[in-house]
Amino acid sequence: MILATVAISSVAMAGKPERDRQAELVPKAAALKADFKSRCGCDIAVTVNYDSYKAAGDMFRVEAAFDSLTEATAACSSATEKAIICKHLKGYTVAFSANPVATEAGGTITCGSSSNSHCGTPAISRIVDAWN
């Protein structure tokens, strides 16, 4: 009976650092979404594929990946650029990648990130610039 209780307790505790990190990132993703709408005038989905991360430390560069979208879409200051970006960009996803790159499919940019790297502003800018 005691062994069963210990096993259940250890399963319940597994993943706490990952859940804590996710709880830290959820409001930051919401803030990025609100900032993007404020600057560019359109809604996009901002998501983190938490299931792709095996450890909390792997999520270290997620915030930097959020910043990269902000930097790459700085051109939202002009009406023309806002229209172009809003026409093409429907979502932004950050997911674990051992070789972080940025890709675009169906209007969603996916930015890879790991514990020590992320896709970066230049990679996202190349996608955004190609829409012009």
| Residue ranges in the chain assigned as alpha helix (H) | 2-13, 16-40, 62-72, 79-88, 121-130
pLDDT of residue 128: 95
Distance in angstroms (rounded) separating the CA atoms of residues 66 and 52: 17
* Mean pLDDT computed over 2-29: 67
**Distance of alpha carbon 113 from its chain centroid, rounded?**
8
The pair of structure tokens assigned to 41 is 């005038």
pLDDT of residue 3: 42
Q: In the structure, what pLDDT confidence band is assigned to residue 4 with cuts at 50, 70 and 90?
A: very low
Q: In the structure, what pLDDT confidence band is assigned to residue 132 with cuts at 50, 70 and 90?
A: confident
Cα angle: 71, vertex 27, 110; to 5 degrees: 50
pLDDT of residue 118: 97
Distance in angstroms (rounded) separating the CA atoms of residues 8 and 28: 32
Span 96-131, pLDDT tens digits = 999 999 999 999 999 999 999 999 999 999 999 999
Span 46-100, pLDDT tens digits = 999 999 999 999 999 999 999 999 999 998 989 999 999 999 999 999 999 999 9
pLDDT of residue 6: 38
Angle at which helices 62-72 and 16-40 cross, to 10°? 10
pLDDT of residue 112: 98
